[in-house]
Amino acid sequence: MPASAAPSADNPLLEPSRLPLQLPPFAEITLEHCREAVLAGMAEQRAEVAAIVGSPEPPTFENTVVALERSGRLYRRAGAVFHNLASSVATDRLREVERELAPLESAHGDALRLDPALFARIDAVHAQRHDSGLDAEAVRLVERYHLDFVLAGARLDEAGRARLTELNRELSELSTRFGQNLQLATEAAAVVVGDVAELDGLGPEEVAAAARAAADRGVAGFLIPLLLPTGQPVLTKLRNRELRRRVFEASVGRASGGEHDNGPVAVRIARVRAERARLLGFDTHADLVLADQTARSTAAVDAMLGRMVGPSLANAQAEAAALGEVAARDGVTDLAPWDWAFYSERVRAERYSVDTAALRPWFELDRVLVDGVFAAAERLYGYRFTPRPDLGGYHPDVRVWEVSDADGQTIGLYLGDFYAREGKRGGAWMSSFVTQSRLLDTRPVVVNNLNVTRGADGQPTLLTLDEVNTLFHEFGHTLHGLSSAVTYPRFSGTSVPRDFVEFPSQVNEMWALWPEVLAGYARHVETGEPLPASVVEAIEAAQLWGEGFATLEYLAATLLDQAWHRITPETEVGDPQGFERAALEAAGVAHDLVPPRYRTTYFQHVFAGGYAAGYYSYIWSEVLDADTVEWFRENGGLRRENGEVFRSRLLSVGGAVDPLEAFRAVRGRDADPTPLLRRRGLC
């Protein structure tokens, strides 16, 4: 759009929505509206910042930092809609617009953070922050802005700022390309099956779903779409070993060749990040990232991960031996990675009488959501969820609930988008359309996305036990957003360090198997019978089985992330597959039967998301999570009083309080890693 062009007068994004809590009026919004509004929003924010910089008044907290917090409202509103749509309902035209906007948005961010005059004002406010009568949240806001600008390059000279802008623009374009390549490659790698007999092991509803997926794609037979991680759920059930091999190889090989090859893209991303870190005064990109995380240093990350490598590898090798014995009974003497999940389920069933595939009839999506996830939130926090069918989402699959607190006051809106479909990126996530802020008088509008397979026509959608846990996990992020009670948008909800953001979501997983919660939702979809107590006991007894594999595949991914982001501009990378193999071997996590949870070419978290050099954060947060679970158990578990402590002292404060201080306010001390090691069978 030319600089002089104005957005169309009927663009619904130009003003705050009049729907409840500013829910975007999706039915009225077109892709071109999004494009126009993002461009107009950037221009408007530049004008707002120019007014801040041009003020003749000396810099103060109000006329500089608060003014920055108020700026960019159109840009945030339009960007939130556009980027959510790009993740959930992508089309060729949307991808084209995304490629157009990515470098412009990168340049916009640089224009603000690398403005010497703006930083001079922030620097002046920062110098006087303790002498200006500011409250604790305001002081922290000043400190956060100052650190944000410093880490973004505000202290560079003119030549440095120019080079940084070039690098950031290239990174933006590369990350967009990586994400788009991955989405298209994942769709293209879906496995076509011609003969229904090959699907032996899948239930009738899964076979019907595969038939529908093929029909939707316009291919004959059956289609097995791929999910984001290496492991695919169907591998636990398919009896046809050749089909298991095809699915596994499709998963690990995606985006590793052809027109959507992400190998060269990943290499270039890592190189540009390395140069950027050097420019900003850091040895590696990992050092740059850790400067603003609770871990603080790569040495701290190495110490934690290193403690786990040996025990997890030993556990995985013991599991492999057990699998080999079971596989040999089928005549399989050359156990392969595509056999692991299948025989792991066999061992689980034989040792613990747990067949996780057979549990699906007890986990119907709506019942898990309403009688499980929502019910636990009401028991803990007093939150109630009222369906709002009068409010529409961005896709027919999306449903909306109004959320009220224990006093009956509306605190936010919750959107659920649970089904897999073409145009939707893999994985599961939470994001926001509106964030809470007392300054802006806004309340949260949040969305959860999953990628579960819809039930066949007229049939309910049944979840695996892993999908149940994922739903509870992502809803933990939602609770973080809904519970926010801060003044400044910079601190709202999940605006906390990357290695802390997973902590509340992982805590929320504990309620999935909590007896009172499980009894509410785990009922057979046809008979209404509760999940037998003996099965629940068996699930709990079996929880350590498979932890060797799970921990090792996670460590392999996170150490691969660290390897890519500890290169320097001088590092000779070679081909990405060779670099990956060498990195895994050097870290001691290379195992023929246990591939990384994500390989380089489909590691969306780190090459097209916000987890670069930060994938360790899941297990770093799990230290806090496991210790907090102990606290809940020590204090009676699912009690309103416990929920109020966790909500008021941690969830509600977002980034307005140092995260580890918030943890200590709940736990009464620093975290103890022992509960995590015990949970994963590492001690």
Please indicate whether residue 474 is annotated as part of the active site: yes
pLDDT over 90 percentage in the chain? 96
676 assigned to some structural domain: yes
**For residues 623-642, average pLDDT:** 97
Distance CA 345, CA 351 (A): 10
Q: 640: which 2 tokens?
A: 């309103």
| C-alpha distance from residue 594 to each of 125, 234, 236 (Å) | 52, 17, 15
95 and 220 both lie in a single domain: no
Confidence of residue 357 (pLDDT cuts 50, 70, 90): confident
Per-residue pLDDT tens over the stretch 80-111: 999 999 999 999 999 999 999 999 999 999 99
**For residues 188-203, average pLDDT:** 97
Domain containing 244 equals 189-254
Query: What's the CATH code of the domain at 494?
Result: 1.10.1370.40
Per-residue pLDDT tens over the stretch 490-549: 999 999 999 999 999 999 999 999 999 999 999 999 999 999 999 999 999 999 999 999
Query: What's the CATH code of the domain at 346?
Result: 1.10.1370.10
Least confident of 243-252, 301-310, 451-460: 451-460
Residues 6+ apart with CB under 8 A from 299: none
**For residues 34-48, average pLDDT:** 98
622 and 563 both lie in a single domain: yes
How confident is the prediction for the chain on average, in pLDDT? 96
426 and 551 both lie in a single domain: no
9 assigned to some structural domain: no
User: One of 474, 502, 509, 547 is an active-site residue; which one?
Assistant: 474
What's the pTM? Answer: 0.92
649 assigned to some structural domain: yes
552 and 671 both lie in a single domain: yes
pLDDT of residue 70: 98
- Residue 3 confidence (pLDDT) above 60: no
219 assigned to some structural domain: yes
**CA 299, 304, 307: angle at the middle one, nearest 5?**
120
Neighbouring C-beta atoms of residue 456, cutoff 10 Å: 17
88 and 137 both lie in a single domain: yes
**CA 285, 290, 292: angle at the middle one, nearest 5?**
115
520 and 552 both lie in a single domain: no
**For residues 9-27, average pLDDT:** 97
pLDDT of residue 683: 83
279 and 344 both lie in a single domain: yes
Confidence of residue 5 (pLDDT cuts 50, 70, 90): low
Number of separate domains in the chain: 4
Last residue of a domain, one of 531, 560, 586: 531
Per-residue pLDDT tens over the stretch 255-268: 999 999 999 999 99
Per-residue pLDDT tens over the stretch 410-454: 999 999 999 999 999 989 999 999 999 999 999 999 999 999 999
548 assigned to some structural domain: yes
Per-residue pLDDT tens over the stretch 361-379: 999 999 999 999 999 999 9
**For residues 252-279, average pLDDT:** 98
Distance CA 383, CA 403 (A): 7
pLDDT of residue 313: 97
Instruction: Return the bridge partners of 401, or none.
Output: 387, 414
616 and 665 both lie in a single domain: yes
302 and 244 both lie in a single domain: no
229 and 301 both lie in a single domain: no
Q: 616: which 2 tokens?
A: 């360790």
218 and 271 both lie in a single domain: no
φ and ψ at 57, to 5 degrees?
A: -80, 145
Helices (H), 514-575: 515-521, 533-541, 547-564
Q: What is the DSSP letter of 237?
A: T
Least confident of 2-11, 25-34, 450-459, 534-543: 2-11
163 assigned to some structural domain: no
Last residue of a domain, one of 531, 560, 587: 531
Query: What's the CATH code of the domain at 98?
Result: 1.20.1050.40
Last residue of a domain, one of 207, 236, 254: 254
Least confident of 207-216, 317-326, 350-359, 526-535: 350-359
Distance CA 457, CA 342 (A): 28
DSSP of 97-144:
HHHHHHHHHHHHHHHHHT-HHHHHHHHHHHHTGGGTT--HHHHHHHHH
524 and 572 both lie in a single domain: no
Distance CA 369, CA 3 (A): 47
231 assigned to some structural domain: yes
Distance CA 360, CA 420 (A): 17
177 assigned to some structural domain: no
